[in-house]
Amino acid sequence: YTTGSGLGLPDVTVSVSVGGAYMPCAELVTATSQSTDCAFTWLYGGNQAQVGVGNGIRIFENGQDLCTSACSVEWKVDVFQQGQMTSAYPGNWNPSDSGYTFDVVDHADAPSTATDDGLFDLTMTQGSDINLATMRLVLKIDGTYHECTPSSSVCDKVASNGGSSMTASNVLSIVETGADLCSGSCTIEYWVSNVLDRTTLAKGIVTVS
C-alpha cells in the first residue's frame, strides 16, 4: 500500500484470478472455516483496526494447488466505504459455515414515499449473541449498496427489546432513517457479517411489499 488514506479492515476484500474467474480470499484468521481456495494476511503481523501506507498483504493458497509451476495471477483489493463499493461485497463465503441461522420476513409497514418506513425484520434462530456495534448489515437496492448504522442517514437496525445486542428470538427491524429506499414493492439483497473476524453470518434476498 503506497498511496492513500487508511482503510478499515472490514472495508477490504481480496480476490485473485489464476487463469479464470476471480475467487474470494478469506483472511487467515478465518480461512480454516471458510470455503475459499486462497487466503491472505497482513504483513505487519496480526490483525489491526486499519491498514495504512507502508502495510502490505500476502496472498497464499488455502488447501488447493492453484499454481503448480510458474503462473500469472491477477489480484484485486476491493474497498467498501461510505455506502459505495468497487466490486462484490464480501458476502461470497457460505453463511452455513458460521453457525448462525436467521428468519427474514417483510416488515409490517407498507412501503411508501416516507423516509422512515420499516423494511424487513431479521430474527436470529441459531447462534451466539451479537453486539450490534460489531454486526455489519449491508443492503443492495436497485444496484446501490447501503450500510445500515446508527449514524447513517439512510438505514439502521433496531432491536425490538431496545437493547444493544441481537439475541436468539429477538427481532431486529431494518428501517429507513432519512432516505426513501422503497417507495413501493421492491427486492432487497442483504448481507450480515461480523466486523471482528469478517465472517459472513447471513445473506439473502427479501421482497418488501
- Domain CATH code at residue 104: 2.60.40
pLDDT at 173 over 90: yes
118 in the same domain as 72: no
Total domains, the chain: 2
- Residue 55 structural domain: 7-80
C-alpha–C-alpha distance, residues 102 and 200, integer Å: 12
Same domain, 122 and 201: yes
- How far apart, in whole angstroms, are the C-alpha atoms of residue 135 and residue 113? 28
Q: pLDDT over 90 for what percent of the chain? A: 25
User: How does pLDDT run across 74-108, given as a tens digit for each residue?
Assistant: 887 766 543 333 333 343 345 556 778 899 999 99
Higher pLDDT, 192 or 49: 192
**What radius of gyration, in Å, describes the C-alpha atoms of the chain?**
18
Q: What is the pLDDT of residue 43?
A: 64
- Identify whether 195 is part of a domain: yes
Q: What is the pLDDT of residues 15-26, one digit of tens each?
A: 888 888 777 777
Q: 114 Cβ partners below 8 Å, 6+ apart?
A: 176, 180
CA 200 to chain centre: 6
